[in-house]
Structure 1
Amino acid sequence: MKPISLLLAATVLMSTPITSAIAASATPPDVAKKPHIVRAPHGAERNDEYYWLRDDKRENEEMLAYLKAENAYTDTVMAPLKPVEDTLYDEIVARIKQDDSSVPYRERGWWYYSRFVAGKDYPVHARRKDGPGVDALSIQKANEAGDFAGEQVLLDVNALGEGKDYYSVGDFDVSQDNRLLAYADDTNGRRQYTVRFKNLETGEVLPDQIANVEANLIWADDNRTLFYVEKDPETLLGKRVKKHVLGTPAGDDALVYEEEDDSFYMGVGRSRDDKYIVIGLSSTVSNEYRYAPAADPQSFAVLAARERDVEYDADHLGDRWVIRTNADGATNFKLVTAPSDTTSRQDWKDWVAHRDDVFVEGFELFDGFSVVAERANALESLRVLKADGGSEYVKADEPAYSMGLSANPETDTDWLRYTYTSQTTPATTYEINTRTGERRQLKQQPVPGYDRSQYVTERVWAPARDGKTKIPVTLVYRKGFQRDGTAPMLQYAYGSYGASMDPNFSVTNVSLLDRGVVYALAHIRGGQEMGRKWYDDGKLYNKINTFTDFIDVTDYLVKEGYAAKDRVAAMGGSAGGLLMGAVSNMAPEKYRVILTLVPFVDVVTTMLDPTIPLTTNEYDEWGNPEEKGYYDYILKYSPYDNLEAKAYPAMFVGTGLWDSQVQYWEPAKYVARLRDLNTGTGPVVFRTNMEAGHGGKSGRFRQYRERAEMFAFMLDQLGVADTPAAN
């Protein structure tokens, strides 16, 4: 028998939203206005009455009291939905195999993998020695049986995170002789990592520590020298590549390279054949690689000097570099080759030609073949290039899916590992023999209680308002869905940085589908699903296309009967939160409820402040508002600046106090001003995680608690009963 509290929730859900009723009787927090003028170099001025909520140290008591008051208000509004939240959380967690493990991969005589312990939040990173009868499948079987004999634990993240509100291991690297481990951890979510060292033979944690670095570590061949990227303490940008010699003070670490241009990110790595240590530098429109022999990394040569609007990435195997680039008008990128000692673009020779209808997304090199990751018609594919000059595509099984390269650390093999997933197919790892065509499934994400035959995915194309652009949309819904214009729908998108949102399986979305919700993934401009032009048409002076695309997708799906016009929810995070803020300003009447997470909503002020992390790196994404033309254009869509007195949808806004990507004060200011101007009756709740950063709480289960709370809010607003359909 269903608990009375759930019966009550279901009854009310089908009539008046509980959260609306509670919000109408509760008093939301109010916060002081303090006039502050934000000036641009060209003389433009804006009054930002909530600017004072910014506190880089997170110590201002008045500000903290406001965030806590918003949390308390959210607690009040959400209290009656706690049974629904708990039900959703329990369903989601029940679909996760708690003692699951990753597919092992072999490198330098060891098989590496991660596994989870039932009831624990964090992974155990481990390895087993290679030998007769030891392979990926045998190790997985042993892990499933709880047989860990012969296992060597690299890091038990559960033990390391014990007693901490937040803990994350961002990266780790094993020395070339397999004896030493370097790892980078973060204890507050701000991504200011500390490097630590462990002797894998003795288990001893060594005294060396390096603070304030990126999660990016590479050993040299001497097994004593570690290369890392040091952060600027103010902007948190990676600024300097340094090398640490084990057993020496971190303060004595030698400077290898310093980047003066704050529009570039940097990282360190090894080439495919382990011959070189590489420093990679990238901005939105330009790249530069530097390389040195891993056996003696004293002097780094420039692979090809940076040029504006020339992007490239490179890898080395055998006697050549293979370079992916947009040089010479290759808008969708092409592959070129160059000799090992090259330092100039003059040495580049075309290998895989540019095509207008296919975007070259990446590549992987093997001794006997190569693989090109491509994208066309908003679908990914893998093309195997054979030594004899022939090529063939890895086959897909569904109309809308995601396919990509998996871990392939060894080059001397005929086998290619890749991953495959869709909105209905859990993540699956395959390996295919590129010589014989044999395909083996190594693992499919276990999802207890899930029956994929009960769900349907499809791809549709929504017309944009320009009359010529078609926007791809991936849909998923439970079998039996009727396209009669009555269903609730959740529409998600991102649409920035050329990041493609591919149709992956989601254990959280199943709970929505089982309640009759249609899930729509909109592949809007600003991403790169349709090639580089798709990205270029959604940034800088074309940015507004991103927002109108999202709205046009909503209009199309409602018109075609996939959703009721008054039962549409929208969700986005980070730059997708900017999207949510923009569409709620432009078309608030089209959305019943909006979920916006760590939202980038104060674009003008943030982009005018080069001390804020990411600002200078992103002038070529949004434009630099120190130039009046970009200032005026950004001001047209910046969500904070375009709030006005009108009825807004119900909103759930989430952020993390220690977020270094989108600072907490952006959503805090946004909610404060929204409360002043909103004439709508839908509730606005603002949840701040006081311990977490951009990715939310650490640990695999805590994130699902946050998602369950948001979904409970959304379902309530959409008038969806809390009881799922039976499988």
Structure 2
Amino acid sequence: MNPILSFAALAGLCLCAALARADAPPRADVRPQTFSAHGDTRVDPYAWLRDDSRSRPEVLAHLQAENRYAETLLADQQPLRDTLLAEMQARSTGGEASLPYAENGWEYRERYPEGAQQPVYERRPLAGGAWRTVLDAAERAKGKRYYRLGGWQLSPDGRYLAVAEDVRGDGAQQLALRDLASGEWLPLADRKAGTEMVWSADGRALWYVGVDPDTYRSSRVYRHALDGQDDALVYEEKDEAYTVSLSSSASRRYALIAVAGSDSSEAWLLDARDPAAPAKLFAARRPGREYYLDHYRGAFYLRANPDPAGFGLYRSAAPGAEWRALIAPGADAEVESFLLLKRHLIVKERRDGLSRVRAIAWRGGASRTLALPDPAYRVWFDRNPDPDSGRLRYRYSSLSTPTSTWEWNLANGKTRALWQPRLAGYRAADYRSERLWMRARDGERVPVSLVYRRGLLAKGGNPLLLYGYGAYGMAMDAAFSAPRISLLDRGFVFAIAHVRGGGERGRRWHEAGRLANKQNSFNDFVDAARELARLGYARPDQLYAMGGSAGGLLVGAALNQAPGLFRGAVAQVPFVDALSSMQDASLPLTVGEYGEWGDPADADAYRRLRGYSPVDNVGAGPYPHLLVTAGLNDRQVPYWEPAKWVARLRERQWPGQQLALITEMDAGHRGQAGRVSRLAANAREYAFLLTLSGWREP
């Protein structure tokens, strides 16, 4: 069967048959609450759906009713979901291990046993021998309704293992410590924590990030001593606009505390050789300046933006000393990250919407650029624990190239693949990825990455899924997804609109899509969809949208502002009640995000948020078919935001419309934790989209 010919002809028949058997959609009680600010009055009929305790029976009953309705509504898609899930699982051969890396006399790797939800972490001596289990995540997950390993760190002598585990789905970590010599698990303070941990040089102390129990803001750093003393508070950030993170310097001389707000930051130094010493400030924060620190061979290196042009790379001899520019930011490029090796400085720069990796010799300054094969891609540094090796390990991925690990010989410039995944039945040559430039309505050039299966692109005849994010200066680079193959093999084109607000084109790209410029993000997304259809990559009536979190806001605003453009959309934990959330300083993240969205206490910021917040701008419709997901324990985008949005949309639900809200009752912002469960969620979303397109399995 020609997959393109079947789409439109069968779409209406499939949907009508499904809806004829579906129960009546749940209707949330209307209990109006009035909110006034700056001379404006809003009525929220569904504010009662907010329950900070996540235990009120009437709220849980409504969410469960929505889940039952979604199950009935989507029941006809179950055979397709099963087929997709089986495909996704079959691509992975199972039991495959990651590429080992060497550190402190040991080799380490991650391995997923056949059909396992959770990985096993193993090690063996560099001299050889059998692999031994360091951590069995499946064993740790036993008896828990939710489990996700957030991070782990081994002491320098390899004896002690510190782990951070999310056992509630709310993102806050529970810490545990294991003596690998005896196998005994040792007590740690019972407090919410972050994922970052750093050991002292002697392995007798562990620094970790503490999370506020109410707002979930990373705000403190503690030191845990193995001698049994109470954990000591070594740093506390009291300004709610800032969060704290922790890392180890390349020299292992310092644990680095990074304190970051929306447009300024500072760093504090903890002496790894003297864990009891107080934290020392490197350079005080100041508005508009960010810097991110590392230390190697007696000097400090900073990715910083003292110049309004963007981020460059600087060197400083000591805290308080002058910063000397090594790489100044340019009009068309800025430093994204860097790595310090014995003979080379490795720099990842943003140029024209893509990352470029350069190796610069410390002696003589000769520079070499890493050649990368695809028109759009994602590249990042892998673990490089030995700065003296003369080789760089990096990870590479594109929309058509599976994520793999490579080695770059810095002496001769040659690269070689160290590890590539085994994907049964997949041939990269069967797929084509492209990178386009679209003109937004104000004339700005917006990059778009896309991929499709060769032989299935029929000009003007394909369904197309457009993905976007566009916030916080985060770059959504074009990376591979094994589950996505199932969509491409059935005739879909997949595209990413790299809209303003993200970091794809550097700092200015972020500035052009936040605060007073936020409307640019929505315009870019809508304009990209229309241009892709005009160029023949999609049938105009077969456009679909997808976004998660802040990307869900992007999708929600696009649906309000361009009614009729999209046939369907998937909104994953969408940030759609933006105005209400930004008015509530008691919510996690709110104060720290004033720099991204604005503080509604300011009249101009209020009006902007009021103008695009999806919940507050639901129009007369009709709206497209929608699959919306939420997590009951989500602290980043609370479940009531998507629940209130769907309740508003239900008021306008038209006969034949598929509108489903699925709330994961044991999960949070990142959804299901297990590997197979995540694939099942992919299968559900793709079955929804394929059914809307009219697809039927041959």
TM-score range, shorter chain: over 0.9
Counterpart CA distance in 2 for 1:377 and 1:326 is: 19
1:325 CA drift (Å) = 0.7
Residue by residue over 1:607-635, the C-alpha shift from the partner in whole angstroms, topping out at 9 and shown as x without a partner, is: 01111111111100001111111000111
* Aligned 1:10-49 pairs, distance under 5 A: 14-23=10-19, 26-40=23-37, 42=38, 44-49=40-45
1:214 aligns with 2:189: no
Paired residue for 1:424, among 389, 393, 400? 400
Counterpart CA distance in 2 for 1:269 and 1:550 is: 36
1:31 CA drift (Å) = 1.4
Which position in structure 2 is the counterpart of 1:411?
Answer: 387
Whether the 8 Å contact between 2:466 and 2:546 is mirrored in structure 1 is yes
Which position in structure 1 is the counterpart of 2:291?
Answer: 312
1:162 aligns with 2:142: yes
SS at match of 1:588: coil
Counterpart CA distance in 1 for 2:72 and 2:192 is: 39
Identity in percent: 39
Counterpart CA distance in 1 for 2:143 and 2:87 is: 27
1:44 CA drift (Å) = 4.1
Whether the 8 Å contact between 2:404 and 2:421 is mirrored in structure 1 is yes
For structure 1, the residue ranges without an aligned partner over 5 or more in a row are 135-148
Which position in structure 2 is the counterpart of 1:685?
Answer: 660
Counterpart CA distance in 1 for 2:209 and 2:13 is: 50
* One-letter amino acid of the structure 1 residue matched with residue 320 of structure 2: T
1:440 aligns with 2:436: no
Give TM-score, length-normalised by structure 2: 0.96
Whether the 8 Å contact between 1:240 and 1:255 is mirrored in structure 2 is yes
* One-letter amino acid of the structure 2 residue matched with residue 352 of structure 1: I
Which position in structure 2 is the counterpart of 1:141?
Answer: none
Give the 3 Å change call, closer, same or farther, for CA 260–554 of structure 1 in structure 2. same
* Aligned 1:227-266 pairs, distance under 5 A: 227-248=207-228, 252-266=230-244
* Aligned 1:330-345 pairs, distance under 5 A: 331-339=309-317, 341-343=318-320
Give the 3 Å change call, closer, same or farther, for CA 207–402 of structure 1 in structure 2. closer
* Aligned 1:37-436 pairs, distance under 5 A: 37-40=34-37, 42=38, 44-131=40-127, 150-248=130-228, 252-297=230-275, 298-329=277-308, 331-339=309-317, 341-343=318-320, 347-387=322-362, 388-436=364-412
Counterpart CA distance in 2 for 1:71 and 1:410 is: 50
* One-letter amino acid of the structure 2 residue matched with residue 531 of structure 1: G
Counterpart CA distance in 2 for 1:15 and 1:678 is: 18
Residue by residue over 1:404-442, the C-alpha shift from the partner in whole angstroms, topping out at 9 and shown as x without a partner, is: 211112211100111111111111111111012232210
Counterpart CA distance in 2 for 1:637 and 1:124 is: 45
How many residue pairs match? The answer is 692
Whether the 8 Å contact between 1:657 and 1:690 is mirrored in structure 2 is yes
Q: Out of 92-101 and 530-539, give the one that drifted further.
A: 92-101
1:491 CA drift (Å) = 0.7
Whether the 8 Å contact between 1:358 and 1:376 is mirrored in structure 2 is yes
* One-letter amino acid of the structure 1 residue matched with residue 431 of structure 2: Y
Counterpart CA distance in 2 for 1:24 and 1:631 is: 43
Which position in structure 2 is the counterpart of 1:526?
Answer: 501
Counterpart CA distance in 1 for 2:510 and 2:319 is: 31
Give the 3 Å change call, closer, same or farther, for CA 11–540 of structure 1 in structure 2. closer
Give TM-score, length-normalised by structure 1: 0.93
Paired residue for 1:583, among 521, 544, 558? 558
Whether the 8 Å contact between 2:14 and 2:694 is mirrored in structure 1 is no
1:714 CA drift (Å) = 1.0
Which position in structure 2 is the counterpart of 1:146?
Answer: none
Which position in structure 1 is the counterpart of 2:644?
Answer: 669
Counterpart CA distance in 2 for 1:644 and 1:226 is: 53
SS at match of 2:84: helix
Which position in structure 1 is the counterpart of 2:681?
Answer: 706
Residue by residue over 1:566-596, the C-alpha shift from the partner in whole angstroms, topping out at 9 and shown as x without a partner, is: 1111100000000111011011201000000
Counterpart CA distance in 2 for 1:205 and 1:433 is: 41
Residue by residue over 1:529-572, the C-alpha shift from the partner in whole angstroms, topping out at 9 and shown as x without a partner, is: 11211111010010011011000001101111110011111100
1:43 CA drift (Å) = 5.6
Whether the 8 Å contact between 1:98 and 1:116 is mirrored in structure 2 is yes
Residue by residue over 1:179-220, the C-alpha shift from the partner in whole angstroms, topping out at 9 and shown as x without a partner, is: 111111111111221111101112111233432111111111
Whether the 8 Å contact between 2:7 and 2:693 is mirrored in structure 1 is no
Whether the 8 Å contact between 1:324 and 1:362 is mirrored in structure 2 is yes
Counterpart CA distance in 1 for 2:586 and 2:134 is: 37
Counterpart CA distance in 2 for 1:401 and 1:637 is: 31
* One-letter amino acid of the structure 2 residue matched with residue 614 of structure 1: L
Residue by residue over 1:114-145, the C-alpha shift from the partner in whole angstroms, topping out at 9 and shown as x without a partner, is: 111111111111222112xx6xxxxxxxxxxx
1:171 CA drift (Å) = 1.2
* One-letter amino acid of the structure 2 residue matched with residue 224 of structure 1: R
SS at match of 1:208: coil
Whether the 8 Å contact between 2:11 and 2:692 is mirrored in structure 1 is no
1:458 aligns with 2:437: no
Counterpart CA distance in 2 for 1:39 and 1:444 is: 57
Which position in structure 2 is the counterpart of 1:593?
Answer: 568
Give the 3 Å change call, closer, same or farther, for CA 293–720 of structure 1 in structure 2. same
Residue by residue over 1:19-71, the C-alpha shift from the partner in whole angstroms, topping out at 9 and shown as x without a partner, is: 4443355310011111222344x464322111111111111101100001101
Residue by residue over 1:426-463, the C-alpha shift from the partner in whole angstroms, topping out at 9 and shown as x without a partner, is: 11111111012232210012211101111111111111
Paired residue for 2:488, among 507, 513, 538? 513
* One-letter amino acid of the structure 2 residue matched with residue 197 of structure 1: L
Counterpart CA distance in 2 for 1:722 and 1:73 is: 25
